Structure 1
Amino acid sequence: MDFKKYKDINQYYIFRTVISLLTAVAAGIMWTLFFLKSPESHGLDTPLFWAVCFTVLLPLTVRWQQRLYRRHTRKVLFMLDAIENNDTAIHFSETDGTEDSRLMNRSLNRVARILYNVKSETAQQEKYYELILDCVNTGIVVLNDNGAIYQKNNEALHLLGLEVFTHVRQLSRVDNHLMDILTACRAGDKFQAAFSNERGTVNLSIRVSDITVRREHLRILALNDINNELDEKEIDSWIRLTRVLTHEIMNAVTPITSLSDTLLELTEAKISKEEIRNGLQTISSTGKGLLAFVESYRRFTRIPTPEPSLFYLKGFISRMVELARHQYPYTPACFHISIVPDDLILYADENLISQVIINLLKNAIQAFEMSPSAADEKHIDIRAYCNEAEAVLIEISNNGPAIPPDIAEHIFIPFFTTKENGSGIGLSISRQIMRLSGGNISLIPGKETTFVLKFN
C-alpha cells in the first residue's frame, strides 16, 4: 500500500482547512482590535483595514472550498456510476490540471481499479460455484417466498423436465401437485414427490433449507432421483421371496415326482393297471410342471455376474433380429434398424444383454399375435445411439397394442403377467440384468410401446 499518496492527500486538505481557519481567526482579531482602538485611526496600519481584508477573503475561501468539494464529489459519483454499469473505460486524467487535481484523479483511478478487481473476482467466484453445482448429481433450486427462481443447476432442470425455470408456476406444465407442494414447502421439510413425464415416472426426494441474503428470505431445495433406490429395494424383496418359494416348493415337489415315477413301474395292484397308470401319469406330469415352474423362477435369483467386453452393436442387433425371426417365422413383422454411428461399440456382457434384447423382441412379436388386426403394417424399430452424456441407449418400439397405464406400472414386478401361459419373469430378469450391468430399462409411454435400455 502506498502510504505516501495518502499522506500527500491528507496534508493537502489539512493545508486548505488551516488557511480557511486562519483567515476567519485573523478577521475576528482585526475586528476586535478595531473596536478597542481610537476611532480616529484610519490608516493602512489600522485594524479596520486588515479586518475588512480578512472579512472579504473569508467568503472567498469558503467558496473555494465548496467548489473543490463539489468537483471532487461529482468525480466520485461519476466513478461509482461507471462501476455499477460495468463501464471499464472510465479514467481520470493524471497529467492535466493542477497538482492537487492530478493527485485526486490518480487516487480515484486507483479506487476504481480496486473496485473493478473486487467485482470481477466476485463474478468469477459466482461462476465457479455455478460450475460446481452443475457437476453434482443433486438438483439444486433456490427460490424466494414469492416463487421466483434465483438459482438452479442443470440436474434440477433435467429432473423436472424443464429447459427454462424462472418461477415455480412453470411446474404446472409438469405436474400441478408438484407445483403446490414446492410452493408450500418450508425449511426443514423432507418429503417425496412423484410425477410422470415422457421419461416415465419420476420419484424425487426433496429436502428444504433456508437462508437470508440481503434481507431476503430464500429457500434452498435439494432434489434427488430415488427411482434406482426404490427399484433395488423392490428387486431385493422379490429375490428374498423367490428364494423362500423355490426352497419350499422344491422340497415338496421332488419326492412327489420321484414317488410317481416309482409307482409307474409297479405292475401289481387291485385296480386296473390302466387306471393306476393314468393317475400316476397325472401326478408325474403335474410334479414335473411344478418343477419347471419353480426352475424358471430360480433363474431370476441366479443371474451370473456380468463379464463385460467390447462388441459392435450393428452385428449384434442383426443377429438378435435373425434369431427372433427364426423363432417366430409365421408372424410377419418388418424390422427397422438404425445404429448411429455405424461402428457404435458397447461395453457389456454380450450373452446377458442378448437375453434382454431377445425377450423384448419376443414380447413385441407376441403383441402382434395377440391382436393381428392392430396395425396394417407391423413394424419393430430398433435404434441405438449415444446421448450428450456419452451413454449408449438402445430403443426397441413396436406399433402393436399399447400397454394400458394400470398394467404398465406392474410389468417389471416378478411373477406379474397378462399372458395365459406366461411366467412373468422375462421383464423382471431383463431389469435385473440391466442393473447388474450398470444400466437400466424403462418403458416410455406413448402411442407405440417403446422400451429403452440405457448403459451408463
Structure 2
Amino acid sequence: MKHYYRYITDRYLFRIVTSLLLAGAVTVSIIYKDLLWIVISSLLLLTSLRWQWKLYRRHTQKVLFLLDAIENNDASIHFSEHEDIPDNHIVNQALNRVASILYNVKSETAQQEKYYELILDCINTGILVLNDAGAVYQKNNEALRLLGLEVFTHVSQLNRIDANLMGLFAHCHPGDKLQTRLSNERGTVNLSIRVSDITIRQEHFRILALNDINNELDEKEIDSWIRLTRVLTHEIMNSVTPITSLSDTLLTLIQGSEELKTKSESISSYKETADEIRNGLHTISTTGKGLLSFVENYRRFTRIPKPEPSLFYVKGFINRMVELARHQYPDSHITFHSHITPDDLILYADENLISQVLINLLKNAIQAIEAAEIPEGIITLHAYCNENEAVLIEVSNNGPAIPPEVAEHIFIPFFTTKEGGSGIGLSISRQIMRLSGGSLSLHPGKETMFVLKFN
C-alpha cells in the first residue's frame, strides 16, 4: 500500500509544480506583453486549477459521506476500487480501509460493552449508574430484582414503591454508605448502598452498588443467639442438675425418717416441719425439672441435624402435612385449600426437616384462627415455581394479621406472644430453611402469609 501513497503524493506534487509553472508563464507573458502566450498560459492555468478543485471537492465529498455513514451506523458504505482514474482508485482504497478500521473499532467497543453488561448481570450486587438529572444510564438485572422493577429509566419511578427511597437515590453523594429497608410484593429487603462517581465525556455520573443484607443480618443474628444459647444451657444445666438430684435425695430421706419416727413426744411438731421441708423440696424438684425441660427445648435450636436432601413430589408432601395437622387438631373447624402448580412439582430438600417447618407453620395458623374465634377458618397452601426456577411454598390463613411491631421479632429465638409458648418454633424453622439453602419470610399484607423459598 505504501507505493500507492507514494504514487499519489508524487502526482499531487506534479500538479502543484505544473500549476506554479503555468502561473509563472502567465506572469512572464504579461511582463513581455505577449497576448498569445498570455491567453494560452491563462487557459492552461485555469484548466489545471479547475481540475484540482473538482478533484478536491470529489474527495472531500467522499470523506464527508464516509463520516455520515459511520455516524449513522451504516456499515454498507463502500467506494469502488475499480475506477479508471488512478487517483480515485487509490483514494477509494484508502477510504475503504479507514471505514473498515473505524467499524472494527466500533464493533469491538460494542462487544466490550456487551461483555461488561454480561459480567454485571452475573454478579450478586445491584449496579445503577445515574446522571445528575436522575436518569438511569445503566443498570443490571440484580438491581431490577432488588427494587422489584422490570423497567427502570428514572429515579422518579421509585416514588410508586417508596418515596423515601426515591429521595435517597436522588440526593445521595459519592462516598456515602447507606442502609434502608424496602418493602414490595416480594417481601422486605434490607439494602446496603455504596455511592461512587465518574465523569465520562464531560458528564458526571453516580454509581450505586446495592446489596441485600437480609441474609448477612439473619446469619449474624442466628449465630449470636446460638452462642448465647450454648452458654445458657451449659450454665443452667450445671446449676440445675445437682439441685434436682439433691432434692430427690432429701425427699427420699424424709420419707424414710417418717417411717422410723412413729413414736415421739414431738410427732406433731416433727410432722409440721417435715411437711414444710417436703413442700419446699417438692417445689425445688418441680422447678428444677421444669428448667431442665425448658433448657432441653432450647437446646434443640442449636442441634439441628445436617440436611440430607432428596427429590420428592410437593403435592403428596403437602397433602400428608395437611392430614397430620387435621389429626393433631381434630376439633378445629378449619378448611384447608392446596394449590400446587404444576401437579408434578418436585422439590430437592430434606423432607423430614421441611416437614417440621410446615407442621410448625400449620400449627401456628390453626392456633391463630382459634384464638381469634373465626367461625370459618381457612388455611391456604400454594406451591409453585417462579421465573428463576425457585420453588416457593406459601402458607396463609384468614386469621388476623401479625402487627408490625410483633412481626419484627417473630424470628428471634425465645420471643413469643403465646402464654406458655417456647418462642423457638419459627427460629428453628428459619434455621432449617437456611441450612437447606432456602429462606423463610413473612410476607407483608392484610393476612398472615409465610413464604418458604427453595433456591
Report the TM-score when normalising by structure 2. 0.90
Q: Secondary structure at the match of 2:338?
A: strand
* 1:81-107 Cα distance to aligned partner (Å, 9 max, x none): 122112233333444564433443333
Does residue 281 (structure 1) correspond to residue 272 (structure 2)? The answer is no
Report the AA paired with residue 336 of structure 1. H
Secondary structure of 1:58's counterpart equals: helix
> What's the counterpart of residue 452 of structure 2?
453
Match of 1:39 in 2: none
CA–CA separation in structure 1 for the residues paired with 2:205 and 2:4: 44
| Between 116-125 and 9-18, the greater mean CA deviation after superposition | 9-18
- The CA distance in 1 between the partners of 2:3 and 2:429, in whole Å, is 78
Alignment of 1:256-335 (within 5 A): 256-265=243-252, 266-267=254-255, 268=257, 270-272=270-272, 277-335=278-336
SS at match of 1:14: helix
Distance 2:23 2:63 in 1: 29
Amino acid at match of 1:108: L
The aligned runs of 1:359-378 (5 Å cut-off) are 359-373=360-374, 377-378=376-377
Q: Deviations over 1:386-419 (max 9, x none)?
A: 2222222221111111111111111000111111
Could you tell me which amino acid in structure 2 is paired with residue 72 of structure 1? H
| Aligned counterpart, 1:437 | 436
- Deviation larger for 198-207 or 150-159: 198-207
* 2:198 corresponding residue in structure 1: 211
SS in 2 for 1:11: helix
Alignment-derived partner of residue 121 in structure 2: 134
Name the CA distance, whole Å, in 2 between partners of 1:162 and 1:305.
36
**Between 146-155 and 252-261, the greater mean CA deviation after superposition:** 252-261
Aligned to 2:15: 16
Q: What do the CA deviations read for 1:32-64 (whole angstroms, capped 9, x no partner)?
A: 4x16xxxxxxxxxxx553234223433333233
Point out the more displaced range, 351-360 or 168-177.
Answer: 168-177
Whole-Å separation in 2 of the counterparts to 1:365 and 1:4? 92
User: 1:275 deviation in Å?
Assistant: 5.5
Corresponding residue number in structure 2 for 1:419: 418
How many equivalent pairs are there?
A: 441
Quote the residue 1:405 is aligned against. 404
Identity level (%)? 72
2:316 is matched by which residue type in structure 1?
A: G
* In 1: Cα distance, 2:440 partner to 2:50 partner: 84
Unaligned runs of 5+ in 2: 259-269
Alpha-carbon distance between aligned partners in 1 of 2:196 and 2:22, rounded to the nearest angstrom? 64
Query: In 2, distance between residues paired with 1:9 and 1:136?
Result: 54
Q: Whole-Å Cα distance in 2 between the matches of residues 430 and 179 of structure 1?
A: 35
Task: State the AA in 2 paired with 1:16.
Answer: R
Provide the rounded CA distance (Å) in 2 between the counterparts of 1:309 and 1:210.
Answer: 48
Residue type matched to 1:292 in 2?
S
Distance in 2 (alpha carbons) for counterparts of 1:338 and 1:371: 25
CA distance in 2, matches of 1:9, 1:346: 75
TM-score (norm. length: structure 1): 0.90
Shift of 1:330: 0.9
Paired residue for 1:151, among 121, 138, 150? 138
Secondary structure of the structure 2 residue equivalent to 1:30:
helix
Match of 1:29 in 2: 28
Q: Is 1:111 the equivalent of 2:104?
A: no
| Alpha-carbon RMSD | 2.2
**SS across alignment from 1:140:** strand
Q: Which stretch shows the higher mean deviation, 340-349 or 445-454?
A: 340-349
Per the alignment, residue 263 of structure 2 pairs with none
Structure 1: any 5+ residue segments left out of the alignment?
Answer: 36-46
1-side partners of 2:8 and 2:212: how far apart? 62
In the alignment, what sits opposite 1:44? none
**Equivalent position amino acid for 1:409 in 2:** E
Cα deviation, 1:262-315, whole Å, max 9, x if unaligned, reads 333323461346655544433332222222111111111111222222222222
For the residue of structure 2 that corresponds to 1:188, the secondary structure is coil
Give the counterpart of 1:233 among 220, 225, 238: 220
C-alpha distance in 1 between matches for 2:279 and 2:330? 36
1:50 to 24, 37, 40: 37
